[in-house]
């Protein structure tokens, strides 16, 4: 989803100040440090979980289950070289001229 579609992407300084003022009025000055601390802890746990998932994905990608042969070796073998062109083709081209 697009954040701008919800109007969140256009927040400026005065908008954030008004939101913080409303939060201050609703929760009071005593609750704000507790709210900020719990928000920081949850952000820290989310960051740790994301790093764990990234590490697991990297480890899984670094250990392939079975190696596969590359397609480039097969493709090179299928392309004929200039020395393998049959002489019949070169004779036809000289007759056409």
| Residue in the block written with tokens 């002489």 | 87
pLDDT score recorded for residue 45: 96
Per-residue pLDDT in tens (0 to 9) along the chain, 97 residues: 555 555 667 778 888 889 888 988 888 888 888 988 999 999 999 999 999 999 999 988 877 665 555 555 555 555 555 565 555 555 555 555 5
Could you give the number of structural domains in the chain?
Answer: 1
Taken in order 17, 20, 24, 26, the sign of the CA dihedral is positive
Is 9 inside a domain boundary? no
Give the chain's largest Cα–Cα span.
Answer: 99
Is 12 inside a domain boundary? no
Is 70 inside a domain boundary? no
Is 23 inside a domain boundary? no
Is 76 inside a domain boundary? no
Show the domain range for 52.
Answer: 29-61
Is 91 inside a domain boundary? no
Is residue 43 within 8 Å of residue 37, measured between CB atoms? no
pLDDT score recorded for residue 3: 55
Is 52 inside a domain boundary? yes
What is the C-alpha to C-alpha distance for residues 7 and 14, in angstroms, rounded to an integer?
15
């Amino acid at each position: 989803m697009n954040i701008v579609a919800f109007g969140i992407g256009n927040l400026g300084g005065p908008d954030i100040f008004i939101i913080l003022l409303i939060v201050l009025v609703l929760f009071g000055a005593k609750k704000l440090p507790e709210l900020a601390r719990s928000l920081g802890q949850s952000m820290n746990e989310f960051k740790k979980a994301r790093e764990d998932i990234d590490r697991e994905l990297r480890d899984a990608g670094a250990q392939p289950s079975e190696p596969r042969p590359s397609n480039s070796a097969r493709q090179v073998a299928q392309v004929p070289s200039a020395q393998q062109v049959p002489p019949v083709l070169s004779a036809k081209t000289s007759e056409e001229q």
